[in-house]
Amino acid sequence: MAKEQQKRTDINELGEFGLIDHLTKNTTLTNLSSKKGIGDDAAVIDNKDYLTVVSTDALVEGIHFDLMYTPLKHLGYKAVVVNISDIYAMNATPKQITVSIALSNRFSVESLEELYSGINLACEKYNVDLIGGDTTSSPKGLYISITAIGQGKKEKLCYRDGAKEGDIICVTGSLGGAYLGLQLLEREKQVFLANPDMKPELDEHKFLVERQLKPEARRDMIRAFEKNNLVPTSMIDISDGLASELFHICKQSKVGAYIEESGVPIHPDAQMIAIDFGMDPVTCALSGGEDYELLFTIDPSDIDKVKYLPDIYIMGDIVAAADGVKLHAIGGKIHTITAQGWNHFNK
Amino acid sequence: MAKEQQKRTDINELGEFGLIDHLTKNTTLTNLSSKKGIGDDAAVIDNKDYLTVVSTDALVEGIHFDLMYTPLKHLGYKAVVVNISDIYAMNATPKQITVSIALSNRFSVESLEELYSGINLACEKYNVDLIGGDTTSSPKGLYISITAIGQGKKEKLCYRDGAKEGDIICVTGSLGGAYLGLQLLEREKQVFLANPDMKPELDEHKFLVERQLKPEARRDMIRAFEKNNLVPTSMIDISDGLASELFHICKQSKVGAYIEESGVPIHPDAQMIAIDFGMDPVTCALSGGEDYELLFTIDPSDIDKVKYLPDIYIMGDIVAAADGVKLHAIGGKIHTITAQGWNHFNK
């Protein structure tokens, strides 16, 4: 009997966010303690006195990292940081993690020790406890999935859907660095593959390479908010690039945004290396990803609370949804930002 | 310059439990809310009114499942069940899960829908909310890592380290079924590979095949305990085989155990198929694994509370650590059970 033809839709047709939307559109929450499900940096569980915040993120060899230039200790560190960054993005404090690792037998016990030394280092630095997990075999490659659990106060938690017209858009730190660090590592890898006797030239690019290999989460900002009694109206961490994260906030808050090119913070090293690679620094900053900075909105009445805080940059305003998501370029032109990141080449 | 010789220890030298012990031996808990870390079915977070219980488990293609005979819907269902089984094993109630999936582009959107339909079905059946996760690419294969979060009352939570001399050892349900189901599926796979026109002969083995492909967690038991006001002194779920789980309890409780071969519950189908495969049914029951039944100990004064409950079997007693972990065979002989499972061939 001939097998019936089955419909086959390629996963790439939907993209990551489309796929998650598609698969979870019928997901409903039935337990009273489930306060917030899929669709923010982290899920929220109601524990009466305060909220428990839960986030899961996976790093996959060959997709998220290349062991040719990623030391395992850095990888363990980064795997923790990218997860607790999601907890901070809720304006909460990470407290515990569980680590699920699948690895092939090409890894030795010593290499796993390296990975765990990075995991433990990040736990120490951010006062997080490793409370459990699973270590299992994989036929090929290394998979690390971490779940981070944090605590937050009900009245202080920040979601993606709280931005409103007139709010001010802020961003921490500098952008594009992690992406350009990756470009540098990829370039040196190609040089090495072509001629294994060549020594990598990365010492002078320490800042950018470290942004890629050993990022930090912005705990200092969450503490500064607390100290200055500031509660952002919405917040998200920048893992996929500022443009993409701004779209998440706008979509979920049902608003638009207007940002100034001059307000996009770019580190001088990133600026220089972008030009070196023939790339536009602003595009790298908007679409690069993996910077793990915080993008947030504040009520205009809170402007004085952020104005004098170091490392926070005011980028623009939240506008009506009908006005779209736009960038005011330094040259004066207005560009529509697309979900995939702003296409600077249309200038 | 010659590279220095680095020590390389193969992961298999330590085994799964040895590896986890080795990697986490320096792990300490620093947060007040971290009540219990690595080393039980689940970690425990103190939330004042009650405890939050967290468990993580991964299923890896080619290691834990073979998609040649595992329908994706069943796989999604099983991935949830094996995780919430860990929460029940703490005498707690699962409330939420996060799902982290990595998959290659050989999977279509429709196949992911199948997987999620199984995940959702298990969530519905066990009243658990899917609150978050991560879906990402993998260069090869399918990886599913689930974190389950539950609630338990402080005075009712059951750990692995609470068994004491004189306690009675009980087990739920029947053992060995999942393992023999796997043997049947593997046999039919070989038949199919040799001759693709052969039809699989599995209909008459529905019970065993379902034990392997679509296991259930013992929520009914946790409810029966609650109803009968019974709190086991220790408890564990049977994922790696009864012998292995009994060793965990004995090691962590610093006790020994004495079980009766006649007390090991084996389903008649499992009995029959074991003999069919030339295997010893008791060995299958003790070392088979994946049954997701509960192994627990009770204070002797609670014996009447379990005596008349269906599907609970009294297997033996907890003894002093010096007395070891032993099986009293039906023939009268005493066998020492080893951590890898009892070696029946030494009879």
CB contact under 8 A, A133 and B63: no
Dihedral angle sign, alpha carbons of residues A45, A318, A237, B116: positive
SS (H, E, C) A100-162: EEEECCCCEHHHHHHHHHHHHHHHHHCCCEEEEEEEEECCCCEEEEEEEEEEECHHHCCCCCC
Tokens of A224: 């500064």
Q: What is the pLDDT of residue A20?
A: 75
Domain B36-152 in this protein, CATH class:
alpha beta
CA–CA dist A115, A112 (Å, integer)? 5
Closest partner residue to A48 among B9, B49, B149, by Cβ?
Answer: B49
Candidates A204, A38, A97; CA nearest to B27 is A97
Closest partner residue to B143 among A22, A102, A147, by Cβ?
Answer: A102
CA–CA dist B159, B26 (Å, integer)? 21
Q: What is the pLDDT of residue B339?
A: 63
How many angstroms away from the CA of A262 is the closest CA of chain B?
A: 34
Nearest CA in chain B to A98: B56
Phi and psi torsions of A257, nearest 5°: -150, 150
Tens-digit pLDDT profile for residues A264-295: 999 999 999 999 999 999 999 999 889 999 99
Residue B58's CB is within 10 A of a number of other CB atoms, namely 25
What is the topology classification, in CATH, of domain B168-346?
Answer: Phosphoribosyl-aminoimidazole Synthetase; Chain A, domain 2 (3.90.650)
CA–CA dist A35, B323 (Å, integer)? 50
Edge-to-edge, what's the strand order for the sheet holding B34-36?
B34-36, B43-47, B50-60, B142-152, B93-103, B129-137
The A residues from 91 to 130 touching B (CB cutoff 8 Å) are: 95-96, 98-100, 102-103, 105, 107-110, 112-113, 116, 120, 127-130
CA–CA dist B330, B328 (Å, integer)? 7
Nearest CA in chain B to A57: B134
* Cβ atoms of residues A238 and A175 within 8 Å: yes
* Cβ atoms of residues A243 and A335 within 8 Å: no
Q: What is the pLDDT of residue A135?
A: 86
Closest partner residue to A45 among B37, B141, B149, by Cβ?
Answer: B149
The A residues from 296 to 325 touching B (CB cutoff 8 Å) are: none
Whether residue A155 has pLDDT greater than 60:
yes
CB contact under 8 A, B16 and A105: no
CB contact under 8 A, A110 and B7: yes
Nearest CA in chain A to B26: A120
Nearest CA in chain A to B115: A23
Tokens of B2: 């010659």
CB contact under 8 A, A127 and B10: no
The CA-atom distances, in angstroms, between A202 and each of A69, A209, B110, B184 are: 11, 8, 44, 56
Q: What is the pLDDT of residue A2?
A: 41
Residue carrying the six token digits 């960054």 = A85
b vs e for B184-208, b when ≥16 Cβ sit within 10 Å of the residue's Cβ? bbebbeeeeeeeeeeeeeeeebebb
Whether residue A128 has pLDDT greater than 70:
yes
By the CB < 8 Å criterion, does B144 face chain A? Answer: no
- The CATH number fitting domain A33-156, selected from 2.40.50.140, 3.30.70.890, 3.40.50.300, 3.30.1330.10: 3.30.1330.10
CA–CA dist B216, B237 (Å, integer)? 12
* Cβ atoms of residues A175 and A293 within 8 Å: yes
Tokens of A45: 């569980």
The A residues from 68 to 97 touching B (CB cutoff 8 Å) are: 95-96
Residue B220's CB is within 10 A of a number of other CB atoms, namely 15
Size of interface A-B (CB pairs under 8 A): 267
Helical pair B206-213 and B268-276, crossing angle rounded to 10 deg: 100
Q: Which residues contact A56 (CB under 8 A, 6 or more apart)?
A: A83, A145, A146, A147, A148, B98, B99, B100, B132, B133, B134, B145, B147
Q: What is the pLDDT of residue A3?
A: 46
Q: Which residues contact A88 (CB under 8 A, 6 or more apart)?
A: A94, A217, A218, A219, A221, A222, A237, A294
CA–CA dist B65, B85 (Å, integer)? 18
Top residue of B7, B41, B52, B147 to mutate, by most chain A CBs within 10 Å, is B147
Q: What is the pLDDT of residue B24?
A: 78
Q: What is the pLDDT of residue B340?
A: 57
Q: What is the pLDDT of residue A1?
A: 37
Q: How confident is the prediction along chain B (347 residues), in pLDDT tens digits per residue?
A: 344 456 788 877 777 677 777 877 777 888 888 888 887 888 888 887 788 999 998 999 999 999 999 999 999 999 999 999 999 999 999 999 999 999 998 888 888 899 999 999 999 999 999 998 888 889 999 999 999 999 999 899 999 999 999 999 999 999 999 999 999 999 989 888 888 887 777 888 999 999 999 999 999 999 999 999 999 999 999 998 999 999 999 999 999 999 999 999 999 999 999 999 999 999 999 998 899 999 999 999 999 999 889 999 999 999 999 999 999 998 889 999 876 544 433 33
Residue of B224 and A343 predicted with greater confidence: B224
CA–CA dist B88, B220 (Å, integer)? 10
Q: What angle do CA A291, A297, A300 make, to 5 degrees?
A: 145
CB contact under 8 A, A127 and B12: no
Query: How far out from the chain centre does Cα A209 lie?
Result: 17
How many angstroms away from the CA of A186 is the closest CA of chain B?
A: 18
Candidates B87, B277, B242; CA nearest to B171 is B242
Phi and psi torsions of A321, nearest 5°: -55, -40
Q: What is the pLDDT of residue A5?
A: 56
* Cβ atoms of residues B91 and B224 within 8 Å: no
CB contact under 8 A, B19 and A112: yes
CA–CA dist B49, B37 (Å, integer)? 19
CB contact under 8 A, A34 and B134: no
* Cβ atoms of residues B168 and B300 within 8 Å: yes
Cα Rg of chain A (Å, integer)? 21
Q: What angle do CA B32, B35, B40 make, to 5 degrees?
A: 155
By the CB < 8 Å criterion, does A4 face chain B? Answer: no
Residue of B9 and A150 predicted with greater confidence: A150
Residue-range domain boundaries for chain A: 33-156, 168-346
CB contact under 8 A, A149 and B23: no
Whether residue A180 has pLDDT greater than 70:
yes
Q: What is the pLDDT of residue A340?
A: 57
- H/E element holding B153? none
* Cβ atoms of residues A70 and A209 within 8 Å: no
Q: What is the pLDDT of residue A342?
A: 44
Edge-to-edge, what's the strand order for the sheet holding A34-36?
A34-36, A43-46, A51-60, A142-152, A93-103, A129-137
Tens-digit pLDDT profile for residues B302-327: 999 998 899 999 999 999 999 999 99
Taking the CA of residue B217 as centre, how many other CA atoms within 13 Å lie in the half-sphere pointing to its CB?
29
* Residues in chain A within 8 Å Cβ distance of B126: none
CB contact under 8 A, B130 and A103: no
Strand ranges, E, within chain A: 34-36, 43-46, 51-60, 93-103, 129-137, 142-152, 168-172, 234-237, 255-260, 294-298, 312-320, 325-328, 334-336
By the CB < 8 Å criterion, does B41 face chain A? Answer: no
CA–CA dist A18, A24 (Å, integer)? 10
A185: left (phi over 0), alpha (psi -120 to 50) or beta: alpha
Helical pair B268-276 and B177-194, crossing angle rounded to 10 deg: 40
* Residues in chain A within 8 Å Cβ distance of B100: 56-58, 100, 145, 147
CB contact under 8 A, A141 and B145: no
Candidates A285, A166, A294, A168; CA nearest to A221 is A294
Phi and psi torsions of B64, nearest 5°: -100, -20
CA–CA dist B219, B234 (Å, integer)? 17
By the CB < 8 Å criterion, does A21 face chain B? Answer: no
Whether residue A6 has pLDDT greater than 70:
no
By the CB < 8 Å criterion, does A67 face chain B? Answer: no
Q: Could you tell me the pTM of the whole model?
A: 0.90
Phi and psi torsions of B277, nearest 5°: -90, 5
Q: What angle do CA A267, A271, A273 make, to 5 degrees?
A: 115
Closest partner residue to A109 among B9, B36, B137, by Cβ?
Answer: B9
Q: What is the pLDDT of residue A343?
A: 40
**Average pLDDT value for chain A:** 89
pLDDT band at A339 (very low <50, low <70, confident <90, very high): low
Tens-digit pLDDT profile for residues A48-75: 778 899 999 899 999 999 999 999 999 9
By the CB < 8 Å criterion, does A45 face chain B? Answer: yes
- H/E element holding B98? strand B93-103
DSSP type of residue A48: S
